[in-house]
């Protein structure tokens, strides 16, 4: 998000009351953001009153404004504000903020009792306003009803909020305000992607052909209509993005909008000279991750490309997939890049090699080798294929997949109707989630760093600039004055406690003990270990765990309960 950042909370008494707690929690959660949170909540105000003091708000030049009106519009007998006027007042406010390039967000209203019709009516107007202006909604109503069976639980008197209610406001605000980016994984050239390389370990459904549909103009208008002035980050990593016929048209389209950024993951075989001369690059809005493929190019040649890009102020990490035959050469390649202070982002291989499924087929030694070079989230989620289903994530809210026909989904399961219910960019009709929800398709975040970083339990901030560098840094791998720092270089992955934390498989009773100890809910944990995490992926381990469980009386008792 913006840093430093002036956040103005603009509204009525509800705003006035949530700000002190919000300020405290914001500072605790995001200490690195130099934020100034200003309380502009005035008791009894309606949207009409708010409009009257708009000039004064604009004069203070905030970066973000959180609009919170409606509760008094609903009840003010003197002003008699109609739904129509409420709608117009909000639109007028938002237009002024947008014209002044201020990021505006809007809160809806919490219910006062069950099936609170009037609140629902006003909230429908707020929702309509967000669709018309394309600003983000902070869906208090949704958080509130999910948290409290009886809405009164969050209230102090009348419509005013108690401590519990203000906690809900803060939760909703902290999940929305710091996430400025809308990340769009755009398969602009088709889901069955194309590549000029033929890596023996490629997992993509490669298919020759160009499947761009519509015109660049139509897409440009579609994105504008769908997201208004939101900060968009276009992310290309499906096959080799640079070989698409329209690639540079897409680059130029993004370049035209100062509020748009671009991230690509590329084998760097394309026209780099053309790329560095693009507007989006010159304005520092392009980030590249270089995927290094040793069977297709030498480390020295790849290094030349990295150095060329560095000369043009683009710092590119080398993404290295540890396909089993690469273990022999990895350290030498690592040295080639490390000598020049390039970060090597190690990824696990996912697929079949010699009739074995990886990463589950990695030996214990190989697993520990990979873990030394990589960051925490990659170890926990990618190396061990920890299922993401059921984990709470921002996917569908601030991270979406768009196919070459404009359909929006969680991931490339956009092809399955039930996953593209978020609308269509080209038709300009979109309806994204307004709060983080449980991850649905299991395999999304197994593959992308953005997907993993979107899981709330990891506590990752929004990925900024180069997403791989930002992701790695948050997981303990970063650049320092003395060179690159790999947090797990000396971690003892034979220690049972460490193994449990990093989702390593249990080898003995002690490992199992620590896995169980980590969880408050032991039944759930054992069920998870037994049924999901290992059972279908590791048939031999299933047998081993069963035996381990039998040796541990407490665990075996729980295991038998599960079997019933």
Under 8 Å CB-to-CB from 486, ≥6 apart: which residues?
372, 373, 374, 476, 477
Query: How far apart (Å, rounded) are the C-alpha atoms in residues 184 and 264?
Result: 12
How far is C-alpha 298 from the chain's CA centre? Answer: 33
> Cα–chain-centroid distance for residue 122?
30
Q: Which is nearer to ligand SF4, 99 or 352 (CB)?
A: 352
| CA 376 – CA 94 distance, rounded (Å) | 41
Considering beta carbons, is residue 295 or 508 the nearer one to ligand SF4?
295
Residue 269 CB, shortest distance to ligand SF4, in Å, is: 8
- Ramachandran quadrant class, 334 (left: phi over 0; alpha: psi -120 to 50; beta: rest): alpha
Q: Based on CB atoms, which residue is closest to ligand SF4, 197 or 485?
A: 197
CB of 146 to ligand SF4, least distance (A): 40
Q: Which residues contact 402 (CB under 8 A, 6 or more apart)?
A: 184, 185, 186, 187, 408, 414, 425
Nearest distance from residue 197's CB to ligand SF4, in Å? 4
Q: How far is CA 210 from CA 249, 404, 426, 456, 529, in A?
A: 14, 10, 18, 37, 43
Contact 283, 258 (CB under 8 A): yes
Least gap, CB of 321 to ligand SF4 (angstroms)? 7
- Measured from the CB of residue 57, what is the shortest distance to ligand SF4 in angstroms? 49
Place of tokens 């015109």: 215
- Residue 204 or residue 308: which is nearer to ligand SF4 going by CB? 204
Residue 177, number of CB atoms within 10 A of its CB? 23
Q: What is the SS3 string spanning 260-279?
A: EEEEEEECCCCCHHHHHCCH
The CB-of-198 to ligand SF4 minimum distance in angstroms stands at 6
Nearer to ligand SF4 by Cβ, of 237 and 406: the residue is 237
Two tokens, residue 370 = 């990979």
Token output for 108: 């809806």
Residues that bind ligand SF4 (CB under 6 A): 195, 197-199, 202, 204, 239-240, 267, 291, 293
Q: Which is nearer to ligand SF4, 194 or 450 (CB)?
A: 194
**Which run of H or E residues covers position 486?**
strand 483-486
- The least distance separating ligand SF4 from the CB of residue 267, rounded to whole angstroms, comes to 4
Least distance to ligand SF4, CB of residue 341, Å: 24
Residue 229 vs 267, nearer CB to ligand SF4: 267
Smaller CB separation from ligand SF4, 53 or 198: 198
* Rounded Cα–Cα distance for residues 147 and 418 (Å): 27
Query: For ligand SF4, which is the closer residue by CB, 15 or 267?
Result: 267
- Spatial separation of the C-alpha atoms in residues 352 and 52, rounded to whole Å: 65
The distance of closest approach from Cβ of residue 319 to ligand SF4 in the complex, given in angstroms and rounded to an integer, is 9
The Cα–Cα gap between 321 and 323 comes to: 6
């Amino acid at each position: 998000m913006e840093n430093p950042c002036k956040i103005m909370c603009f509204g009525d008494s509800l705003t006035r009351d949530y700000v002190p707690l919000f300020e405290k929690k914001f500072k605790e959660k995001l200490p690195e953001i130099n934020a100034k949170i200003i309380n502009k909540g005035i008791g009894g105000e309606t949207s009409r009153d708010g409009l009257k003091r708009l000039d004064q708000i604009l004069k203070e030049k905030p970066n973000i404004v959180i609009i919170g009106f409606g509760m008094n519009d609903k009840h003010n007998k003197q002003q008699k504000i109609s739904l129509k006027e409420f709608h117009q007042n909000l639109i007028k406010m938002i237009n002024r903020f947008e014209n002044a390039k201020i990021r505006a967000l809007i809160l809806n209203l919490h219910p006062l009792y069950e099936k609170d019709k009037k609140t629902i009516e006003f909230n429908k107007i707020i929702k309509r306003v967000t669709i018309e202006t394309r600003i983000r909604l902070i869906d208090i109503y949704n958080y509130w009803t999910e948290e409290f069976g009886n809405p009164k639980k969050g209230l102090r008197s009348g419509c005013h909020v108690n401590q519990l209610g203000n906690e809900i406001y803060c939760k909703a605000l902290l999940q929305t305000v710091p996430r400025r980016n809308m990340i769009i994984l755009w398969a602009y050239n088709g889901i069955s992607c194309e590549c000029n390389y033929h890596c023996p370990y490629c997992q993509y459904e490669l298919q020759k052909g160009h499947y761009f549909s519509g015109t660049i103009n139509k897409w440009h208008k579609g994105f504008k209509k769908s997201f208004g002035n939101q900060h968009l980050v276009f992310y290309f990593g499906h096959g080799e993005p640079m070989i698409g016929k329209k690639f540079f048209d897409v680059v130029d389209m993004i370049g035209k909008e100062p509020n748009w950024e671009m991230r690509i993951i590329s084998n760097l075989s394309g026209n780099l000279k053309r790329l560095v001369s693009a507007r989006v690059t010159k304005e520092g809005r392009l980030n590249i991750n270089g995927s290094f493929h040793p069977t297709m190019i030498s480390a020295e040649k790849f290094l030349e490309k990295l150095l060329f890009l560095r000369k043009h102020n683009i710092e590119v990490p080398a993404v290295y997939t540890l396909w089993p035959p690469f273990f022999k050469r990895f350290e030498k390649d690592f040295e080639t890049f490390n000598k020049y202070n390039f970060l090597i982002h190690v990824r696990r291989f996912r697929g079949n090699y010699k009739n074995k499924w990886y990463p589950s087929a990695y030996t214990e030694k190989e697993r520990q080798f990979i873990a030394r070079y990589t960051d925490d989230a990659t170890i926990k989620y990618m190396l061990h294929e920890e299922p993401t289903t059921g984990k709470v994530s921002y996917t569908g809210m601030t991270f979406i997949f768009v196919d070459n026909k404009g359909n929006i989904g969680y991931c490339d399961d956009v092809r399955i109707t039930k996953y593209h219910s978020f609308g269509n960019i080209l038709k300009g009709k979109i309806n994204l989630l307004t709060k983080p929800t449980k991850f649905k398709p299991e395999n999304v975040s197994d593959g992308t760093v953005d997907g993993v970083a979107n899981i709330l339990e990891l506590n990752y901030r929004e990925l900024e600039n180069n997403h791989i560098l930002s992701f790695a840094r948050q997981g303990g791998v970063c650049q320092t004055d003395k060179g690159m720092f790999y947090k797990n270089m000396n971690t003892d992955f034979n220690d049972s406690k460490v193994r449990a934390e990093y989702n390593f498989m249990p080898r003995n009773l002690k490992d199992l003990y620590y896995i169980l100890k980590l969880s408050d809910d032991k039944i759930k944990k054992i069920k998870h270990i037994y049924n999901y995490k290992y059972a279908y992926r590791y048939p031999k381990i299933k047998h081993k765990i069963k035996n381990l469980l039998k040796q541990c009386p407490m665990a075996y008792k729980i295991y038998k309960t599960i079997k019933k």
